[in-house]
Structure 1
């Protein structure tokens, strides 16, 4: 199972030796992880140093390296130049994608996000009926900004009337930042593996954003991070530390139901991004979205697996 590896201790040295990522402090080895087990590498710590082989060997395997700022949000990412064997053809199809197709794709993404938000609210005993109605109102390109209308209701219902989403704030917001950083790395790797370019988004188009497509495609999965953060808050944990990081990086292994049965989120993301690549090639907006996770105490019928 691929792991999201987080470097949070200051002044460590990272290198690659015989198929392992090694982590040392001075002359003492602090740990080693097989490269084949790594899904993404996230670095928060100050004074981290590394050999060039870390970037080259991870890039060879399509593994993104995310460097975070003090607010636990990504400030830089190393993205492999080569991915899928059809990368050239798929990137050309992506670049040639029409504006109407992009608007159709974005509408589908927003509908899926709003429905997932409704599921999370319902799971936590909140009124969620309006979210299905909002999802149905989303038109091509979301010109009415239904996404923002849903967000205004969602944040207050989930975290309380006094909560507001602020990337620079501590507490719940810092936990959300970190969870989204993990999610962004997972989606970025899937984009590379599918032969698409992360800068060319279907909605986000900020010239300074090199990962606009990743920001687009992580939207339907964000509410799953929100649920993990809410669980941490209910457990009395509201700051980013080793324990909360471990809980949030575990989202990669969260099982989601789909046409092929249950599969980890990291695998489902790959299928979702692949469906986007096919949509660009066929010029038909047909996406495979995540379904809500099955509660741990639910009884699953064999026909649903």
Structure 2
């Protein structure tokens, strides 16, 4: 079972003991989680300590640890140095693949993201959905026309209202989006490493300071899932990144998607996408395992998904 563990309380100490993550305060245990169940450990609180052994144990299981700033965006990540038995061959194939291959892969990622945005707007009865469907069909290799940004300008105001502006430093909805995207990025980053790919060699993102450029590429189609949950929480009266908000956003990875005709959790969809890209690099034949955009009913279930797997 993949779990995202969030540490948001100060003065805690994290350690590993007999296959468990132990959380303690002043020597008293506060909780424990099986290390094998952890996909990512996210630390938001700024007065938290941990043992090196814990980080080593997490890395040995392919899990990552993410440190966040006050705006709930990640600022540092630990990752395993070895993630797959065929890692060397896959990284070589990833490095040697021709540049046009990267551009074609990015085209498919962008087109699918825009279709996901259009699908969510469609589920909410927004007229702008049809415009985004048409824009998705116009994405070219490498997205030289920046359809992704054009679609975003229509999408944000259509979903959250004409006064909304996406600002990573702002509070409220923006902070909730930051947190949800951090969860999704952690999930995808783990899938990238587990597939034997090098996370810093991106399809499109290429900032030399970004060690997870490929994760930032592959996470794009998953972002509208976060948007759906944040929209629903706002409608429910949630206005900040509180414990309930975090629980609902981390629960997204267990929500179901239609992947090649079968129902699969979001975490499995991320694994399949990373694995399909790795195979594409090795075979020099692009074939990405992308999930189908949800139906309106499925969007409603995803938006209301809660940690125990039910809906509210």
Q: TM-score, normalised by structure 1?
A: 0.96
* 1:217 match: 218
What is the SS of the residue equivalent to 1:257?
Answer: strand
In the alignment, what sits opposite 1:283?
Answer: 284
How far apart, in 1, do the equivalents of 2:204 and 2:66 lie?
22
Partner of 1:34: 34
Q: Structure 2: where are the runs of 5+ without partners?
A: 302-312
In the alignment, which residue of structure 1 is the partner of 2:309? none
Q: Could you tell me which residue of structure 2 aligns to residue 73 of structure 1?
A: 73
Conserved? CA contact 1:131–1:150, under 8 Å: yes
What do the CA deviations read for 1:235-280 (whole angstroms, capped 9, x no partner)? Answer: 0002001010000000110100112510100011100111111111
Larger deviation: 286-295 or 34-43? Answer: 286-295
The equivalent residue for 1:245 is 246
Q: How does 1:5-84 map to 2 (within 5 A)?
A: 5-84=5-84
Asked if structure 1 preserves the Cα contact closer than 8 Å seen for 2:187 and 2:267, the reply is: yes
Structure 1 gaps, min length 5: 299-305
Matches within 5 A, 1:241-280: 241-259=242-260, 261-280=262-281
Q: Contact conserved, 1:221 with 1:290, CA < 8 A, in 2? A: no
SS at structure 2 position matched to 1:149:
helix
1-structure distance, mates of 2:152, 2:183: 21
**In structure 2, distance between residues paired with 1:70 and 1:14:** 20
SS state at 2:262 partner: coil
Contact 1:255 1:293 in 2 (8 A): no
Inter-partner Cα distance in structure 2 for 1:140 and 1:55: 40
8 Å CA contact retained: 1:174, 1:239: yes
Work out the number of aligned pairs and report it: 298
**In the aligned structure 2, how far is the partner of 1:172 from the partner of 1:260?**
33
Q: What TM-score, normalized by structure 2, do the two folds share?
A: 0.94
Of 160-169 and 122-131, more deviation after overlay is shown by 122-131
Question: For residue 195 of structure 1, what is the aligned residue in structure 2?
Answer: 196
Partner residue in 2 for 1:234: 235
Q: In 2, Cα distance between the equivalents of 1:119 and 1:223?
A: 9
Partners of 2:89 and 2:274 in 1: how far apart? 16
Contact 2:40 / 2:186 at 8 angstroms: preserved in 1? yes
